[in-house]
Each structure stands twice: as C-alpha cells, then as structure tokens.
Amino acid sequence: MTNETLEPIRSQLLSEEAAQICSHGYFTRQGGVSDGIYESLNVGRGSQDDRAKVEENRRRVAAWFGLSPEKLATVHQIHSPDVVVIDETFDGSTPQADAMVTATGGVVLGVLAADCGPVLFADAKHGVIGAAHAGWKGALTGVLENTIAAMEKLGAERSSIDACLGPSISRTNYEVGPEFKDRFLAHDPSYERFFSPSERPGHAMFDLPALTVYRLKLAGVRAESLGICTYADPQRFFSYRRTTHHNEPDYGRQISAIALKEL
C-alpha cells in the first residue's frame, strides 16, 4: 500500500454541479508511507505514528489537489459543534473545532475520522464549501447545522447546498449501552428509530449514518451517504472501535477533504 497513488472515493452528489467549482475526495488508508498498524495513509497527528510519515501523508493529500501541504487546513477535533472560517489569512494553525467553511480558493478543508462521520458540503451556485467531523456527539449537538449556518454567512443558500457523508461506522457494528440510547431519546423520542435491538440485554445497535443524513435533510440541504462502513473494511479504513476490539495500542486516521478551485 506504500505508494503515491491516491484513489479517494467520490460522492456522486458532489461530482455533479459542485464539480464545476471544487474538487473532493474521501481518502482511504491506501497510498501513504506509514507502516505497521498505521499502514499506510495515516494523517493523524494525534496518533503515535512517526511524525515525519504523517506529514508526508498530508503532503500527498494536498498534492492530490495540486496544492502544497501548508494549504491543507485541519482542526484539532474535540467532538464539538464548533465551526471555524478559513480564508486568505489561513496560517496553518489548528484551532479546536470540528468543522470548517470557506469561500476562498486554493485551500483544502480536511476532516479526520476513524469511525465518526466525515461530511463534505458544497454550494456550487455561490462558491462556498465546508467540511465537518460528525461523531455521535457532534451530530447530536449541532455541528452539521452550524456548518450550514456558517456557510450561509459566507453567502451560501441552504437550498443550494449539497452534502455527503463519507465512510463511517454502520449500525451493524455500533453497539451502545442504555445510557447512550437514553441520551438520544431525551433529546428527541423519535430518535428511537435509529436504534435496533442488540444480542446483549439492555444494549442496542445505533445507526449514526442514518441520523446524520436525517439531520442534514431536516436542515434543508440535499444529502446522501456513501453507505460505507469503516469497521467492516480493514483494508481500506482505520477504525477506532475495531482497534479497541482487537486490543491494538493505537490507530490511524483517514481524511476526507474538499477544495474550491482557484479562479
């Protein structure tokens, strides 16, 4: 897997009208230089992987967009609903947040994940894009809706926004305890439909992708999911939960990214 050929997965929705103004990709773990449990395109600076290898992997992602590595914008993700605006003053810093928006060309917005939901946004009509890291906490507390609102402040219209959820853990592999389910039902009793019985008493299987797409559509944007499970495909994706089940010491992170074309 250690070669420079990156073959990110593309969204059909974002490959239609949005392709006129931006490029995007949901990158797999293939095409990088890391090895061992991090093989091979690990972009997670928070992992225990060799830092030089992580930076080379990030360089390769930026180069896929035709840009230098300092143009790859990521944030220090904290499972929050917080969004930052990236513009021409971007200096490579990584503020604590879980989403980014921009109307500036020539910069890549990248979110990292290893089971959580990476969501890419584009308003082709108004030239505004976004990227959000939506785990269960971010999805529940509003990171998706906040990203859309931040795009609107840059001139987007939600009726023109397309959004796609990339590879994330599926209901089949996401078992949760009763306290977890109770938290969601306290927010909205109708969220019962995102849970199904588990083989273990008192536990349930949680459908994070379905919740994510539901909230995107409820917010008034066109939305789709790639329908790809990170847990079930170890050859292509890192997975925090799979790592935990295998008692591995650490895990890598894959990146999903989008960039406006420079005028």
Cα distance between residue 57 and residue 43, in whole Å: 6
- Contact assessment for residue 161 and residue 151, using Cβ atoms and an 8 Å cutoff: yes
What does the pLDDT look like over 195-215, one tens digit per residue?
999 999 999 999 999 999 999
What does the pLDDT look like over 176-191, one tens digit per residue?
999 999 999 999 999 9
Q: Is residue 1 predicted with pLDDT exceeding 70?
A: no
| Structure confidence at residue 4 (pLDDT) | 61
79 Rama sector, left if φ>0, alpha if ψ -120 to 50, beta otherwise: left
Using 50, 70 and 90 to split pLDDT, how confident is the model at 5?
Answer: confident
| Structure confidence at residue 206 (pLDDT) | 98
Q: Is the preceding omega at residue 190 within 30 degrees of 0, hence cis?
A: no
What does the pLDDT look like over 33-90, one tens digit per residue?
999 999 999 999 999 999 999 999 999 999 999 999 999 999 999 999 999 999 999 9
pTM (2 d.p.)? 0.97
Using 50, 70 and 90 to split pLDDT, how confident is the model at 262?
Answer: confident
Sign of the CA dihedral with 27 first, then 31, 35, and 37 last:
positive
Rounded-to-10 torsion of CA 97, 163, 17, 28: 80
What does the pLDDT look like over 91-136, one tens digit per residue?
999 999 999 999 999 999 999 999 999 999 999 999 999 999 999 9
Cα distance between residue 215 and residue 187, in whole Å: 13
What does the pLDDT look like over 216-261, one tens digit per residue?
999 999 999 999 999 999 999 999 999 999 999 999 999 999 999 9
Q: Which of 140, 158, 147 is nearest to 211 (CA)?
A: 140
Q: Is residue 3 predicted with pLDDT exceeding 70?
A: no
- Helix 143-153 to helix 208-218 angle, to the nearest 10 degrees? 30
Q: Which CATH class, in words, describes the domain spanning 17-170+207-260?
A: alpha beta
